[in-house]
Amino acid sequence: MEKKTKVKNMQGKQALEFISGSEILLRSLLLEGTECVFGYPGGNVLYIYDAMAKDPDFKHILARHEQGAVHAADGYARSTGKVGVVIATSGPGATNLVTGIATAYMDSVPLVVITGNVSTSLLGSDAFQEADIRSMTMPITKHNYLLRDVHDLPRVIHEAFHIANTGRKGPVLIDIPKDVSNQKMFYQPPGDIHVRGYQAVPALNHDPVDRLLQAIADSERPVIIAGGGVVYADASKELLEFVAKTNIPVAATLLGLGGFPSSHELSLGMPGHHGTYAANMAIQQADLLISIGSRFDDRVTMKVDGFAPAAKLIAHIDIDPAEIGKIVNTDIACVGDIKAVLQYANTKAMPARSSAWVLEAQANKRKHPLRYKDSGTELKPQFVIEMIHETTNGEAIITTDVGQHQMWAAQFYKFNHPRSLITSGGFGTMGFGLPSAIGAQIGNPDRLVVSVNGDGGMQMCAQEMAMMAIHNIPVKIVVLNNEVLGMVKQQQEISYQRRYSHIDLQGSPDFVKLAEAYGVKGLRARTKAEAERVWKEAMETPGPVLVEFVIPKEENVYPMVLGGNTLDQMIMGDFE
């Protein structure tokens, strides 16, 4: 390692090193507790990658595509609660990150995204591989920077982590021109952070919380919608205590699954487009609706002007005041950190007058459970998810891609712990499932990680199996193969009079051979008996394994609420 010039500061107390921006970047990342960076090199980040070669303490994993790298960083962040870090070069390297940045932004995931750019003297000249990535990503980042002076680098890195992982979390981008990454300065770690105009967490106003508690005490039919904010605030224990004290049933959104235990007697399951009968009917009949960390996404509300029509009051607890009243009119607004709000509420909470209501909701769960028509000859996807749940005792981290398999996983795997379901909610990003599992496994080396994918999404980032094989990352990859874009096919079948258009995925690769080509063990099952046998083999095999389950293309996800309908207008499938 090359020698660094050292000088003493004016007080003579601390030796300062004269080092490059690239070295400062790596030191700053380590200082922030970064365990692993996912990335892909290129010309305008070569000074940074050269510094990595000289720093044995810095861990970097080479993806095979920048989108795979950013999804891996995302999976790491969602599963650990820490900041995920990704790095890419300028131009196409940076623009290949955009889908992953938007995915994280929509779901409030803390990322620090580092991109290279052309030297400052070339900015704006349309130089080779130049892109104004800062402008491109302004709508999909919480904040972003273009660095023009190496002296700003230590402060900016420190600020970026602070902004990404406080308040409503989200991605922050730092664009570093090549010459800045090579400029040198006497490095000193930054001091306290003060970002002008940035208030990470609003001060908690107790008055609306007190109003909510009184409304609960007066309520006979209250319902909680628990969203991803419960998970991100690490407020699952507080929610559990709150529910115990108030006796309120809970519907957990897709991103909220695990934030409240699915096995709890007051759990109604997931609400919305593919929600349970019990959850949707409870929302429609509730006299008090309480959203906790849920932003009233359109897949939850469906037809907004018919949403929760019996509710006399709607309350919303959220850290972001911009979400209050944005979609649904709110009567009681509790703005603040969810953990802090619930901690205060738990000091005063009294039970609702909800005994009869709870019995009604539990009866709906028994009368209209999630179910499917099993088969003695075909392998049903719901059976596969149930089998995975049983064999993992519900303790695995499940990542999914986007489509029918995502909904089956949400419905039939019972999530009892927060940060156990890693999935793209708001952006619905195909290709997310496999690389996000890599990040989740890196962040949770002692836990089993299962990546559930469809045959469509699997092909969008399949190349990241190389990362798994090279680093022996022991993710168990599930491919539910129905040879069709299943969710699109289902919508065309129901809403477009079976006019199937460009959904046929026949001709896709042999997934077992594809896995083996990357050095990953591949297995296949077409029947229940084969499924149980190969899954057992996969679980007993060290390292990564891909298991393809061949399922019928006719299988649909039910229940289902069509667009333009209200939550109580549910299609129950064969059980309607």
Whether residue 87 is predicted with pLDDT greater than 90 in this model: the reply is: yes
Q: CA 211 to CA 405: how far, in whole Å?
A: 41
Token duo for residue 7: 């000088």
Q: Average pLDDT of 345-373?
A: 97
Token duo for residue 218: 């007066």
Among candidate residues 376, 374, 253, the one with its CA nearest the CA of residue 318:
253
Q: Are strands 5-8 and 15-20 parallel, antiparallel or unpaired?
A: antiparallel
**Model pLDDT, residue 10:** 46
Which strands sit side by side in the sheet containing 250-252, from one edge to the other? 267-269, 250-252, 222-226, 288-292, 313-318, 332-335
138: pLDDT confidence band, cut at 50, 70 and 90?
very high
Give percent helix, percent strand, percent coil of the chain, each to the nearest 5: 40, 20, 40
Cβ neighbours for 295, distance < 8 A, ≥ 6 positions apart: 227, 318, 323, 326, 327
Cite the beta strand spans of 41-83 per DSSP E. 60-62
**Model pLDDT, residue 203:** 87
Report CA-CA distances (Å) from 269 to 254, 274, 372, 378.
Answer: 9, 10, 16, 27
Q: CA 574 to CA 563: how far, in whole Å?
A: 20
Q: CA 143 to CA 138: how far, in whole Å?
A: 7
485-515 confidence digits (pLDDT tens)? 999 999 999 999 999 999 999 999 999 999 9
194: pLDDT confidence band, cut at 50, 70 and 90?
confident
258-278 confidence digits (pLDDT tens)? 999 999 999 999 999 999 999
Cite the beta strand spans of 89-142 per DSSP E. 111-117
Classified as helix, coil or strand, 374 is: coil
Among candidate residues 243, 223, 346, the one with its CA nearest the CA of residue 288:
223
2: pLDDT confidence band, cut at 50, 70 and 90?
very low
404-451 confidence digits (pLDDT tens)? 999 999 999 999 999 999 999 999 999 999 999 999 999 999 999 999
463-478 confidence digits (pLDDT tens)? 999 999 999 999 999 9
Q: CA 380 to CA 376: how far, in whole Å?
A: 10
Token duo for residue 255: 């991103």
CB 25 within 8 Å of CB 176: yes
5: pLDDT confidence band, cut at 50, 70 and 90?
low
* Torsional sign, CA 399, 401, 402, 404: negative
Among candidate residues 195, 158, 192, 173, the one with its CA nearest the CA of residue 25:
158
Report CA-CA distances (Å) from 289 to 143, 229, 245.
Answer: 33, 16, 17
**Model pLDDT, residue 199:** 83
Cite the beta strand spans of 155-246 per DSSP E. 171-177, 184-187, 222-226
Q: CA 154 to CA 192: how far, in whole Å?
A: 12
Q: CA 284 to CA 133: how far, in whole Å?
A: 44
514-571 confidence digits (pLDDT tens)? 999 999 999 999 999 999 999 999 999 999 999 999 999 999 999 999 999 999 999 9
Cβ neighbours for 331, distance < 8 A, ≥ 6 positions apart: 313, 314, 315
Q: Return phi, psi of residue 232, to 5°.
A: -65, -25
Active site residues: 66, 128-129, 178, 487
Task: Report the percent of the chain where pLDDT is more than 70.
Answer: 97
Among candidate residues 74, 69, 38, the one with its CA nearest the CA of residue 423:
74
**How is 492-510 classified by DSSP, letter by letter?**
HHHHSTT---S-B-TT---
- Burial per residue of 483-520, b for 16 or more beta-carbon CB atoms within 10 angstroms, e otherwise: bbbbbbbbbbeeeeeeeeeebebeeeeebbebbeebeb
Q: CA 309 to CA 289: how far, in whole Å?
A: 10
**One-letter identity of residue 172:** V
According to DSSP, residue 541 is labeled: S
Among candidate residues 225, 271, 284, 281, the one with its CA nearest the CA of residue 250:
225
CA 341 from chain centre, in angstroms, equals: 23
**Model pLDDT, residue 196:** 87
Whether residue 115 is predicted with pLDDT greater than 50 in this model: the reply is: yes
Helices 338-346, 206-218: axis angle to 10 degrees equals 60
**How is 446-511 classified by DSSP, letter by letter?**
TS-EEEEEETTGGGTSGGGHHHHHHHT---EEEEEE-SB-HHHHHHHHHHSTT---S-B-TT---H
Q: CA 489 to CA 551: how far, in whole Å?
A: 15
Q: Average pLDDT of 69-90?
A: 98
Q: CA 298 to CA 426: how far, in whole Å?
A: 10
CB 119 within 8 Å of CB 148: no
34-58 confidence digits (pLDDT tens)? 999 999 999 999 999 999 999 988 9
Q: Are strands 267-269 and 288-292 parallel, antiparallel or unpaired?
A: unpaired
**Model pLDDT, residue 1:** 40
Q: CA 9 to CA 524: how far, in whole Å?
A: 65
Query: Across all residues in the chain, what is the average pLDDT?
Result: 96
**Model pLDDT, residue 200:** 85
CB 477 within 8 Å of CB 544: yes
